[in-house]
């Protein structure tokens, strides 16, 4: 059963990823992105990570992607659509990307023994691994300082965003 | 189902993200491609978390998501600012930072 | 002694700095507020310097004396080089500190209507200057002294350069560079002293403290060079002939209050430097150089007076008269007798009072007429009787009329110089400056105040207003006080001056510069004459 | 005892403060001048109280025993400074280290008493007179404040117990004289005269102060009493020595203040001041300060033959010289001024022959009759609407009888006609000069007496007798002055008449004046050098007759010329060169101007130029040199040092011009470069 879910979710993620990078219309890209993210959320659930799956849906889909939609809707898409969508370096880009991919696969294969060691260790975690409780304990325990720093980062991002997006006085007049 | 397959999936998605970043001229789609890459990384983190039964990987995922949110917000704000100034979202046209 | 927990010398020195900071915080446009703050700071600055003299003889102050200095503050400052934050005052410093706080306040008060642009910066610089000057008179660590010495240069440079007359830039740069040239030599000498001390006592005992240096007794050859370097530094500041030419330019171009401070306090830093540093540190060199120094003083006195006589510009005249008066001051100091040095110090104060007042006096007509040429005036006594009276009093004080301050100083200086047999001829020559002094001051007074009121612009001139009168009142009171009861002030000078002359007493005996030796030779000849003539003796 | 001594000088000072400071502020605030009645009441009243106090002190002094005839009142230590090493006097007084301390102490001895009484008495009368004289002047309060300040300074001068305090009074009266001569400051001649007086006095004071320095350095004190005790024990210096030096230097001061040759030039010009000022300051009191000072230091002068000779010589020469200059002056006050100089010369002659009490007595009588003469002249001048030229006078006795009669008394006194006061004092001087062996002084003095009688007679005839040459406009209002002016005249007239009886010559009775002053000169009597030759009373009487004859001679010549022949000043011009030289005062002023004043100005100008060109030029030259060097090195810097730097920069720029093309500014390229970098680095890792 899990096998099937995995393969179908993988397929969805792959297909919509292609849509994201190939679609002419950013709206379509954004919607495809939502699909990819949803698929990922499903994969997280398979991996016993309920909390992360929830966050994925709430933050990514509910926050970030909606933000994309807002911005896209502000643009005049007509002119954008007329232009060429791909950069002049596309060939070099794809070649180097594939080279990169090959290398990554090489590394994954090279680390197979190490991976198997993990598979055999049989670590059992009570109440499931990624429950809110488990994640919360670690997050607010050992990692409370990075967590606080992250909040500061967010604050900085908010201020930066406001400053960047604010219209200058001249434009207001 | 092998956890190994997750790694293959994540590397593929990551490469797709790279291609998106390198090829697309629409800055919005470039940003979305970056989201793809980040998600690929998240998946990796969670897989290893599962593998070792260690919740720290998930915690890091939370942080990555946080950073992603911040990045997106600032990135989009920049996009809006660029659009307002240059009336374009074409990344190749924003090339004054040269020589 | 402390004021609100702050050691009193710190309080006195840095109080103007508080005003300075407050003024920096006030927006530029609120000129009246700035003026009020500056005036209040000046006044309170003067008030908090009064406890210095009030508590002078209190047991706890007397018991706290160190090396003859009172209210001592002594903490390590820059440990690596051994510089200490050493403050302390004796009677000489006391009088100069009080003069500084008083003149500082008067200068600030006098600029109320004279300064119209860049008000904020002006008052800020005035207060900064005040701190610098006070520090100079209190520091007993040579390094600290040097720091304050240079600190006060900068605000003065700006005061002349920004608010000055038509040739202000020339004057300001001349003032700055000339003084700096001197003080660089002084710095070299300070460093030389420092290393000399280290070469004797070792690196662990490195110090810039004056008192440590005083105990050493440097060898005459070294003294010779160090004295020369200090001499040029101080002589430029005094200024002694022939280093005086920056003074007329600086005075003519400076704003009134700048001139007051310049004449009243800044020049005293040179004379004070001689008394505080050169005299105790280099006794051998001092004795050796005395004839040369005396010659320069006498030339300065007569030369300054003669040049002053023929000036067409009032401020220039007063500036050259300063050269003459300071020559007199230095004459007393270099005479190395108690009375001479006391007279010299009192004359420093007197010069601050009377010349400061004379610059204020010139400033008042300048503010009304915007010219300083003597020939533009005449007959002002008719419509400015109060001004005429104050001008007259200060003229008389400047020319040394007994009963006013100038006389006491001049008389003591000349008497003190005359008391040294080998210096008599200098005293006699210097006394002729008194005649010339009367000539140029009275001539100035006659040309400005007497005669008929002919020019239309002069007829409209108003007499002094209340604020202007108040700037003069303390100066007049002091002039009369010093003239009638100088003992009050002289008693503060006794101990420190005795400390200096004691050094020389020893030296003179060592070197057999016995004062009476020449006279005794004379006596033999005289006795023969008396015997030959069979003069009857009772 | 005599706790009020300090009040004698201080009261006029208070008057000065009230009138001067008060008047100034009152005028500033209310724009009105002080009430004249108030001003006169304060000024005269306070001086009158001082007069009473002086009299009280005088009475107290008279009742004191002979060997302790002085009152001393210490107020405070004036200048208390550090130690000073005295040199001592040869081997008689050793060198020692002393505290330099000058006390503010009032000292009242018979000499001070005489002076204080004269100053207060004559001063008070002149104050009263001045009320009338100055009534219409706008600066009424100013005038009286200066007059009061003068009284303060003069009384300080005579009541001081040391030289420095005396010097305070000395310079103080000098300043008041300056201020009062220049009282009409809108007149250039007046302010010039004031300035001249001050500066000429300063020249004298220069000598005076050097003398004081020497005095202190030698003896270690300024106190008269102590100095008297120290110096009184010393032998007489036969040749030039320290005492002679001190004596001569002090005398230089006296020549300035008392208008002797060579520093007399200021006094004639000083007549620019209001007439009461001339009477008080330039006739009765201030100018006699020099006489007082030398008398005060008689203990010193009697021990130095040389300086006494000098004092006497200059005195008698001045007496003669000034009398000659007085011959043909047209200004009534100028004549009196020269007469004052001449009479002061007599006093110095007396001092020069060590006849101190005679000198002081002449000082006193002179104060009476000369003040009277000046006040009389003032009375005339006010009624003549400030006309001072004797050409425009004549026959005034008809209009102003009181003035005439009082002035006549003074005239007889100055000519030395018995029994008027001048006779006793002047004759005493001449007699003493003769009796002490100074025949030369005697002869010159006698000639001067002839001349005195001549010019005084001329003055009297030209003003009060002869034809009326008065301006008709003036004549209409011509009348006697008001009582406020005539009463002081009358009192002074009485004094001038009978004042001489205090000191009768030996052939008439006891000289009480000399006896009164005896304690002052206690240190002098043991001095054999100045012993009197003894002559019989008859001889002395005969000599007095000679004096009278001399006066009559001068009188008759003047009577012949101006009375009989009726010469008026305008006619004198025909007398040729002699008249011209004398009328122009021997061109001494011009000579001084040419020698000193103009040369000092030239020197000043030259030095100013020197200062600007050489000294300041040196400074600016240094600046210019520095600038030149700076320009050269800046050239070097620009083309050589900086050239090398720029060469390097050029190389870098050119090569970077090629390389910078990599920076396309396109984000895609950068991103691709990043990926390529990762790929290459990974390759390196893989194929390591």
Residue for token digits 């840095």?
C14
Q: Of the given ranges (C427-431, D196-200, D601-605), which has the lowest mean pLDDT?
A: D601-605
D661 contacts in B (CB within 8 Å)?
Answer: 99
Say which residue, A14 or D95, is predicted with more confidence: A14
Of all residues in chain C, the percent with pLDDT exceeding 70 is 94
Alpha carbon distances (Å) from A82 to A19, B80, C205, D636? 19, 20, 85, 63
pLDDT of residue D603: 86
How many C-beta atoms lie closer than 10 Å to residue D474's C-beta? 15
Nearest by CB to residue C379, choosing from D81, D168, D186, is D186
Identify whether C303 is part of a domain: yes
User: From the CB coordinates, do chains C and D have 3 or more pairs under 8 Å?
Assistant: yes
A104 contacts in B (CB within 8 Å)?
Answer: 11, 14-15
pLDDT (average), residues B11-33: 90
Q: Chains with ≥3 Cβ pairs under 8 A against D?
A: A, B, C
Contacts of B79 (CB under 8 A, 6+ apart): A71, B27, B28, B31, B89
Q: Does D664 touch chain B (CB under 8 A)?
A: yes
pLDDT (average), residues D496-523: 82
C512: confidence class by pLDDT, cuts 50, 70, 90: low
pLDDT (average), residues A3-14: 90
Whether C523 shows a pLDDT value over 60: the answer reads no
Whether D374 shows a pLDDT value over 90: the answer reads yes
Q: Chains with ≥3 Cβ pairs under 8 A against B?
A: A, D
Angle at alpha carbon of residue D419, lines to D415 and D420, rounded to 5°: 50
How many C-beta atoms lie closer than 10 Å to residue D466's C-beta? 17
The C-alpha atoms of residue A119 and residue A122 are separated, in whole angstroms, by 7
- Total residues belonging to chain B: 99
Tokens of D439: 């025949």
Q: Are A36 and A59 in contact (CB under 8 A)?
A: no
Whether A115 shows a pLDDT value over 50: the answer reads yes
pLDDT of residue D97: 84
pLDDT (average), residues A41-47: 89
Residue for token digits 């709430």?
A58
Q: CB burial class (10 A; 0-12, 13-18, 19+) of residue A94?
A: middle
Tokens of D473: 């406009």
Whether A173 shows a pLDDT value over 50: the answer reads no
pLDDT of residue A25: 83
D686 contacts in A (CB within 8 Å)?
Answer: 103, 106
Q: Are B51 and B3 in contact (CB under 8 A)?
A: yes
Q: Tell me the per-residue pLDDT of A10-40, one tens digit each, with 9 for 90 and over.
A: 999 999 999 998 888 888 888 999 999 999 9
pLDDT of residue D409: 92
Q: Which residues partner with D80 through β-bridges?
A: D101
Whether D327 shows a pLDDT value over 80: the answer reads yes
Contacts of A35 (CB under 8 A, 6+ apart): A12, A16, A19
Say which residue, A172 or D35, is predicted with more confidence: D35
Q: Of the given ranges (C166-180, C354-368, D42-56, D512-526), which has the lowest mean pLDDT?
A: D512-526
A122: confidence class by pLDDT, cuts 50, 70, 90: low
The C-alpha atoms of residue D626 and residue D634 are separated, in whole angstroms, by 12
CATH no. for B3-93:
1.10.287.3510
Query: SS3 for C313?
Result: strand
pLDDT of residue D326: 87
Q: Tell me the per-residue pLDDT of C365-375, one tens digit each, with 9 for 90 and over.
A: 998 888 889 98
Does a cis peptide bond (omega within 30 degrees of 0) precede residue D247?
no
Query: SS3 for A83?
Result: coil
Alpha carbon distances (Å) from D400 to D135, D373, D394, D483? 20, 14, 11, 12
Contact flag A87-B22 (C-beta cutoff 8 Å): yes
Contact flag B94-D667 (C-beta cutoff 8 Å): yes
Query: Is residue B76 within a helix (H) or strand (E), and if so which, with residue range?
Result: helix B56-86
Whether A1 shows a pLDDT value over 80: the answer reads no
Q: Are D442 and D539 in contact (CB under 8 A)?
A: no
Q: Among C413, C279, C405, which Cα is nearest to C340's?
A: C413
Q: What is the DSSP letter of D107?
A: E
The C-alpha atoms of residue C250 and residue C396 are separated, in whole angstroms, by 25
Contact flag A97-D675 (C-beta cutoff 8 Å): yes
Whether C4 shows a pLDDT value over 90: the answer reads no
Angle at alpha carbon of residue C263, lines to C252 and C243, rounded to 5°: 75
pLDDT of residue C79: 87
Whether C524 shows a pLDDT value over 60: the answer reads no
Contact flag A96-D676 (C-beta cutoff 8 Å): yes
Q: In chain A, what are the domain boundaries?
A: 1-85
Q: Among D49, D10, D39, which Cα is nearest to D143's?
A: D39
Q: Does ipTM surpass 0.95 in this model?
A: no
Give me the domain span that covers residue C395. 291-538
Q: Chains with ≥3 Cβ pairs under 8 A against A?
A: B, D
pLDDT of residue D4: 85
Whether A101 shows a pLDDT value over 80: the answer reads yes
Give chain C's domain count.
Answer: 1
Q: Among A61, A38, A54, which Cα is nearest to A132's?
A: A54
Q: Tell me the per-residue pLDDT of D22-33, one tens digit each, with 9 for 90 and over.
A: 888 888 888 888
Q: How much is the mean pLDDT over chain C? A: 88
pLDDT of residue D525: 66
Q: Tell me the per-residue pLDDT of D3-20, one tens digit each, with 9 for 90 and over.
A: 788 899 999 999 999 998
The alpha carbon of residue C56 and the mean position of all alpha carbons in its chain are separated, in whole angstroms, by: 22
Query: SS3 for D187?
Result: coil
pLDDT (average), residues D179-203: 90
Contacts of D534 (CB under 8 A, 6+ apart): none
Q: Among D153, D185, D441, which Cα is nearest to D310's?
A: D441
Whether D527 shows a pLDDT value over 80: the answer reads no
pLDDT of residue C533: 47
Q: Tell me the per-residue pLDDT of C212-221, one tens digit each, with 9 for 90 and over.
A: 898 888 888 9
Whether C538 shows a pLDDT value over 70: the answer reads no
pLDDT of residue A127: 62
Q: Tell me the per-residue pLDDT of C271-317, one tens digit each, with 9 for 90 and over.
A: 999 999 999 999 989 988 999 999 999 999 999 999 998 889 999 99
pLDDT (average), residues D653-671: 84
Nearest by CB to residue D182, choosing from C343, C385, C450, is C450
CATH class of the domain at A1-85: mainly alpha
Q: Does A105 touch chain D (CB under 8 A)?
A: no
pLDDT of residue A80: 57
User: Which residue of chain D comes nearest to C412, CA vs CA?
Assistant: D81
Contact flag D686-A103 (C-beta cutoff 8 Å): yes
pLDDT of residue C511: 60
A131: confidence class by pLDDT, cuts 50, 70, 90: confident
Q: Which sign does the torsion angle of CA C246, C252, C253, C258 carry? A: positive
pLDDT of residue D529: 59
The C-alpha atoms of residue C189 and residue C226 are separated, in whole angstroms, by 5
pLDDT of residue D117: 93
pLDDT (average), residues B12-32: 90
For the whole model, what pTM was predicted? 0.78
pLDDT (average), residues D138-157: 92
Measured in angstroms, the CA of D185 and the nearest CA of chain C are apart by 5
Whether D535 shows a pLDDT value over 50: the answer reads yes
Alpha carbon distances (Å) from C247 to B5, C159, C264? 93, 15, 13
Query: SS3 for D393?
Result: coil
Identify whether C306 is part of a domain: yes
How many C-beta atoms lie closer than 10 Å to residue C199's C-beta? 9
pLDDT (average), residues D392-419: 89
Q: Tell me the per-residue pLDDT of C309-352, one tens digit each, with 9 for 90 and over.
A: 888 999 999 999 999 999 999 999 999 889 999 999 999 999 99
Measured in angstroms, the CA of D668 and the nearest CA of chain B are apart by 6
- Total residues belonging to chain C: 538
Q: Which stretches of chain B sit within 8 Å of chain D by CB?
A: 18, 21-23, 25, 91-92, 94-99
Whether C196 shows a pLDDT value over 80: the answer reads yes
Whether C521 shows a pLDDT value over 80: the answer reads no
Angle at alpha carbon of residue A164, lines to A161 and A166, rounded to 5°: 100
User: Which residue of chain B comes nearest to A90, CA vs CA?
Assistant: B23
pLDDT (average), residues A106-121: 79
Tokens of D505: 């010559």
pLDDT of residue D408: 92
Q: How many CB pairs under 8 A join A and D?
A: 24
Contact flag B5-A130 (C-beta cutoff 8 Å): no
Q: How much is the mean pLDDT over chain D? A: 88
Q: Chains with ≥3 Cβ pairs under 8 A against C?
A: D
Whether C514 shows a pLDDT value over 60: the answer reads no
Whether C527 shows a pLDDT value over 60: the answer reads no
């Amino acid at each position: 059963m899990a096998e099937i879910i995995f393969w179908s979710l993988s397929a969805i993620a792959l297909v919509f990823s292609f849509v994201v990078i190939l679609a002419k219309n950013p709206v379509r890209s954004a919607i495809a992105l939502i699909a990819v993210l949803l698929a990922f959320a499903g994969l997280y659930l398979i991996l016993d990570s309920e909390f992360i799956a929830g966050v994925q849906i709430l933050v990514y889909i509910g926050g970030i992607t909606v933000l994309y939609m807002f911005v896209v809707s502000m643009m005049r898409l007509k002119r954008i659509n007329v232009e060429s969508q791909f950069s002049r370096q596309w060939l070099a880009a794809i070649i180097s990307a594939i080279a990169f991919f090959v290398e990554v696969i090489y590394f994954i294969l090279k680390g197979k023994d190490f991976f198997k060691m993990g598979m055999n260790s049989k670590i059992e975690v009570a109440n499931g691994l990624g429950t809110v409780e488990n994640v919360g304990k670690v997050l607010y325990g050992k990692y409370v300082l990075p967590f606080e720093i992250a909040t500061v980062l967010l604050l900085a991002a908010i201020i930066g965003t406001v400053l960047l997006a604010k219209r200058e006085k001249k434009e207001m007049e | 189902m092998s956890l190994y397959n997750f790694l293959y999936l994540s590397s593929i998605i990551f490469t797709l993200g790279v291609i998106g970043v390198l090829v697309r001229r629409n800055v919005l789609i470039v940003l979305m491609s970056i989201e793809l890459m980040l998600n690929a990384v998240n998946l990796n983190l969670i897989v290893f978390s599962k593998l070792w039964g260690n919740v720290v990987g998930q915690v890091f995922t939370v942080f990555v998501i946080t950073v992603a949110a911040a990045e997106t917000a600032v990135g989009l704000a920049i996009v809006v600012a660029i659009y307002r100034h240059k009336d374009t979202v074409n990344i190749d046209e924003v090339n004054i930072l040269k020589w | 002694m402390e004021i609100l927990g702050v050691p009193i010398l710190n309080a006195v020195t840095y109080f103007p700095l508080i005003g300075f900071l407050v003024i920096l915080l006030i927006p530029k446009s609120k000129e009246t507020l700035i003026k009020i703050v500056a005036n209040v700071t000046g006044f309170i600055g003067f008030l908090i310097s009064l406890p210095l003299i009030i508590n002078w003889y209190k047991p706890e102050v007397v018991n706290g004396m160190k090396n003859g200095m009172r209210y001592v503050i002594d903490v390590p400052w820059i440990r690596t080089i051994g510089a200490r934050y050493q403050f302390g005052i004796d009677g000489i410093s006391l009088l100069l500190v009080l003069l500084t706080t008083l003149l500082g306040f008067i200068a600030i008060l006098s600029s109320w209507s004279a300064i119209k642009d860049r008000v904020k910066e002006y008052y800020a610089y005035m207060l900064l200057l005040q701190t610098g000057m006070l520090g100079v008179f209190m520091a007993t660590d040579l390094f600290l002294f040097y720091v304050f010495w240079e600190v006060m240069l900068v605000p003065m440079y700006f005061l002349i350069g920004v608010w000055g007359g038509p040739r202000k830039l020339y004057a300001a740069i001349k003032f700055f560079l000339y003084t700096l040239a001197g003080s660089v030599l002084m710095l070299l000498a300070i460093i030389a002293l420092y290393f000399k001390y280290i070469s004797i006592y070792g690196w662990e005992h490195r110090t810039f403290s004056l008192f440590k240096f005083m105990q050493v007794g440097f060898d005459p050859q070294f003294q010779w060079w160090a004295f020369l370097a200090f001499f040029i530094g101080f002589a430029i500041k005094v200024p002694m002939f022939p280093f005086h030419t920056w003074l007329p330019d600086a005075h003519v171009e400076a704003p009134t209050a700048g001139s007051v401070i310049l004449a009243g306090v800044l020049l005293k830093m040179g004379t004070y430097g001689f008394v505080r540093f050169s005299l105790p540190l280099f006794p051998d060199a001092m004795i050796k150089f005395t004839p040369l120094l005396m010659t320069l003083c006498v030339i300065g006195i007569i030369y300054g007076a003669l040049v002053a006589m023929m000036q067409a510009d009032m401020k220039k005249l007063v500036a050259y008269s300063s050269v003459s008066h300071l020559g007199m001051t230095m004459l007393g100091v270099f005479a190395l007798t108690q009375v001479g040095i006391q007279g010299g110090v009192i004359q420093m104060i007197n010069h601050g009072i009377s010349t400061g007042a004379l610059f204020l006096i010139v400033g008042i007509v300048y503010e009304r007429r915007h010219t300083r040429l003597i020939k533009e005036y005449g007959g002002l006594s008719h419509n400015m009787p109060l001004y005429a009276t104050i001008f007259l009093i200060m003229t008389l004080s400047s020319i040394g009329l007994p009963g006013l301050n100038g006389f006491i100083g001049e008389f003591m200086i000349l008497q003190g110089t005359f008391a040294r047999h080998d210096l008599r001829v200098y005293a006699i020559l210097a006394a002729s400056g008194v005649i010339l002094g009367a000539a140029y001051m009275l001539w100035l007074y006659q040309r400005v105040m007497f005669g008929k009121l002919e020019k239309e612009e002069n007829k409209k001139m108003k007499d002094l207003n209340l604020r202007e009168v108040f700037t003069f009142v303390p100066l007049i009171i002091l002039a009369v006080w010093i003239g009638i009861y100088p003992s009050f002030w002289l008693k503060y000078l006794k101990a420190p001056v005795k400390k200096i002359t004691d050094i020389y007493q020893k030296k003179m005996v060592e070197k057999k510069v016995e004062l009476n030796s020449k006279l005794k030779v004379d006596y033999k000849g005289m006795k023969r004459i008396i015997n030959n003539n069979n003069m009857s003796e009772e | 005892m005599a706790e009020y001594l300090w009040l004698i000088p201080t009261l006029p000072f208070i008057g000065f403060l009230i009138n001067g400071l008060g008047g100034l502020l009152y005028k500033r605030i209310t724009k009105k001048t002080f009430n004249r009645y108030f001003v006169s009441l304060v000024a005269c009243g306070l001086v009158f109280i001082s007069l009473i106090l002086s009299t009280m002190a005088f009475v107290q002094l008279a009742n004191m025993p002979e060997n302790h005839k002085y009152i001393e009142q210490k107020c405070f230590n004036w200048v208390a400074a550090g130690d000073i090493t005295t040199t001592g006097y040869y081997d008689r007084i050793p060198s020692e280290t002393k505290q330099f301390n000058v006390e503010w102490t009032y000292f009242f001895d018979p000499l001070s008493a005489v002076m204080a009484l004269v100053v207060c008495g004559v001063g008070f009368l002149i104050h009263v007179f001045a009320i009338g004289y100055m009534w219409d002047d706008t600066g009424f309060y100013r005038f009286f404040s200066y007059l009061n300040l003068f009284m303060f300074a003069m009384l300080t001068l005579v009541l001081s117990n040391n030289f420095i305090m005396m010097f305070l009074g000395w310079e103080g009266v000098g300043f008041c004289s300056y201020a009062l001569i220049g009282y009409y400051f809108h007149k250039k001649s007046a302010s010039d005269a004031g300035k001249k007086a001050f500066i000429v006095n300063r020249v004298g004071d220069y000598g005076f102060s050097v003398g004081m320095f020497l005095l202190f350095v030698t003896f270690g004190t300024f106190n008269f009493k102590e100095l008297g005790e120290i110096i009184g024990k010393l032998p007489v210096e036969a040749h030039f020595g320290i005492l002679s030096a001190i004596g001569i230097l002090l005398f230089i001061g006296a020549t300035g203040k008392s208008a002797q040759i060579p520093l007399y030039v200021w006094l004639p010009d000083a007549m620019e001041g209001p007439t009461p000022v001339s009477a008080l300051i330039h006739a009765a009191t201030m100018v006699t300060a020099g006489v007082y000072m030398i008398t005060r230091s008689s203990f010193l002068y009697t021990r130095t033959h040389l300086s006494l000779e000098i004092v006497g010589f200059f005195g008698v020469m001045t007496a003669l010289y000034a009398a000659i200059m007085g011959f043909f002056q047209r200004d009534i006050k100028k004549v009196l001024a020269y007469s004052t100089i001449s009479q002061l010369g007599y006093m110095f002659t007396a001092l020069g022959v060590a006849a101190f009490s005679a000198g002081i007595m002449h000082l006193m009588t002179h104060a009476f009759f000369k003040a009277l003469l000046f006040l009389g002249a003032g009375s005339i001048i006010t009624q003549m609407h400030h006309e001072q030229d004797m050409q425009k006078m004549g026959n005034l006795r008809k209009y102003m009888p009181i003035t005439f009669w009082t002035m006549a008394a003074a005239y007889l006194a100055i000519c030395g006609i018995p029994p008027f006061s001048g006779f006793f004092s002047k004759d005493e001087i001449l007699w003493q000069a003769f009796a002490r062996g100074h025949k030369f002084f005697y002869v010159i003095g006698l000639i001067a007496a002839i001349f005195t009688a001549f010019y005084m007679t001329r003055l009297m005839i030209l003003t009060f007798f002869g034809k009326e040459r008065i301006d008709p406009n003036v004549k209409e209002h011509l009348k006697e002055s008001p009582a406020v002016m005539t009463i002081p005249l009358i009192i002074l007239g009485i004094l001038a008449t009978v004042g001489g009886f205090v000191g009768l010559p030996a052939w008439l009775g006891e000289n009480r004046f000399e006896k009164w002053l005896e304690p002052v000169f206690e240190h002098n009597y043991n001095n054999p050098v100045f012993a009197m030759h003894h002559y019989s009373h008859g001889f002395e009487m005969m000599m007095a007759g000679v004096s009278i004859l001399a006066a009559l001679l001068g009188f008759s010549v003047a009577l012949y010329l101006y009375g009989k022949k009726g010469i008026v000043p305008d006619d004198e011009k025909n007398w040729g060169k002699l008249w011209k030289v004398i009328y122009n005062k021997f061109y001494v002023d011009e000579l001084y101007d040419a020698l000193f004043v103009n040369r000092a100005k030239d020197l000043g100008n030259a030095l100013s130029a020197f200062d600007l060109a050489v000294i300041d030029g040196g400074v600016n030259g240094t600046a210019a040199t520095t600038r030149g060097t700076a320009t050269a090195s800046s050239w070097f810097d620009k083309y050589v040092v900086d050239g090398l730097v720029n060469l390097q920069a050029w190389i870098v720029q050119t090569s970077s011009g090629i390389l910078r093309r990599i920076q396309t500014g396109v984000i895609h390229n950068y991103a691709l470069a990043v990926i390529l970098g990762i790929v290459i680095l990974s390759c390196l890792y893989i194929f390591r």
